[in-house]
Amino acid sequence: MQHLLSIQALRALAAIMVVFHHAQNDAGRTAADLGAPFERFFALPWAAGVDLFFVVSGFVMVFSSEKMFATPGGAGQFMSRRVARIVPLYWLATAIFVIAALRGAAAGKALPPSLGEILSSFAFLPWPRGIDGAPRPIHSLGWTLEYEMFFYLVFACFLWLPRARAVAGVAAFLGALVLAHVAFQPQDVAIAYWSDPIVLEFALGMGIALAYRSGLRLPGIAALAIALPALAVLASDPMLSAGEGFDALDPNGFLRLFCWGAPMAAIFAAIVLREKQQQTNSAMRFAAAVGDASYALYLFHPLAIIVLRKLWLVGHFDRFGFWPLVVASTLASVALALAIYRWIEKPLTSLAQGWLVRRPSGDAASATARP
């Protein structure tokens, strides 16, 4: 269906924004080490692709769980599907990065990760890492998955209710959690992490899903009236991300919610709720294919960036500057993700679904979209 292609294309956009952000930072760090010039391009805050991911996730959970609301066993079915979809590929990526971290420690390049860091990384639990105390797993990109899995658990707890009440319950719970965070400033790492205002971006996506299911559609002028101011907010860079260091961790909190999450939700709503969707063409189909592989793209693009950088330096291509490296790294990341999706992710997911997911007769609803 056309709207599903649009959602997959938006997922591709979110992943490519993150890849482009990291490719620029890696090139900038390499150029700085060599004393070479390099200026990053910040027309948009590329790291906000994560916030678009969260909005899309909130939408898709509501959209694809249609037959699980107020259904006996719906919560278990939902979590089985989520675990089968998320865990195998993330564990594979985490294992690769754990091995790399241990090898780096053996070579004296870094401190070895603690057992707590390793176990929490596989368990999707926020844990302060040894190098700076930041709550990041060993595969640092997994910080978003720690939010995702928490959101899935909360969502599953409300699936016994009809759709609208379930969404209201999840949103109210997340809102109460954020208010408690503001009021009590919890010291526990996990509680403080999961009560950050960034979790409300899932609620924004759920709200858009309810609007879509209720039949709300926007004429073109209304969609533009929503999307253009949102783009203007992003382009104005109120979080000053253009001036951050190459290894900086983007802060969460209310500033991120309002400056990145809300504008991304507005753009998402403007596209998904349009009365007339864009006609399907080869570019849209390719974007949707990249959207299918966006999870692999998000998890594994650092490998492509690292390999391309090493080849770039070995081949002395740095004499051509570093922007060609950014472009090559981004394209290589997409190609790697498409290959991983086809030959690793799909077989792993199918195998996990065979073990975990009980398939009632006639239930094909949640397979229509790949959240």
Instruction: Report how far residue 198's alpha carbon sits from residue 253's, in angstroms, rounded to the nearest whole number.
Output: 6
Burial call 136-147: b when 16+ CB within 10 Å, e when fewer: bbbbebbbbbbb
Residue 251: per-residue pLDDT: 87
Distance set, CA 368 to CA 61, 228, 287, 350 (Å)? 12, 30, 17, 15
Could you tell me if 78 and 155 are in contact, meaning their C-beta atoms sit under 8 angstroms apart? yes
300-320: per-residue pLDDT in tens?
999 999 999 999 999 999 999
In the numeric block, the tokens 């985490």 are attached to 94
Residue 130: per-residue pLDDT: 87
231-275: per-residue pLDDT in tens?
999 999 999 999 899 988 888 999 999 999 999 999 999 999 997
Stretches where the chain sits below pLDDT 50 are 1, 362-371
Could you tell me if 304 and 332 are in contact, meaning their C-beta atoms sit under 8 angstroms apart? yes
Distance set, CA 108 to CA 87, 101, 136, 184 (Å)? 31, 11, 21, 41
Three-class DSSP category at 144: helix
Instruction: Report how far residue 49's alpha carbon sits from residue 10's, in angstroms, rounded to the nearest whole number.
Output: 9
Three-class DSSP category at 343: helix
Does this model's pTM top 0.85? My answer is yes
Could you tell me if 305 and 333 are in contact, meaning their C-beta atoms sit under 8 angstroms apart? yes
Residue 281: per-residue pLDDT: 84
Instruction: Report how far residue 44's alpha carbon sits from residue 216's, in angstroms, rounded to the nearest whole number.
Output: 29
Residues 6+ apart with CB under 8 A from 300: 93, 333, 336, 337, 340
Amino acid, single-letter form, for residue 11: R
Residue 369: per-residue pLDDT: 39
What phi and psi values does residue 357 have, to the nearest 5 degrees?
-100, 120
What phi and psi values does residue 149 have, to the nearest 5 degrees?
-65, -35
Instruction: Report how far residue 334's alpha carbon sits from residue 315's, in angstroms, rounded to the nearest whole number.
Output: 22
Instruction: Report how far residue 183's alpha carbon sits from residue 177's, in angstroms, rounded to the nearest whole number.
Output: 10
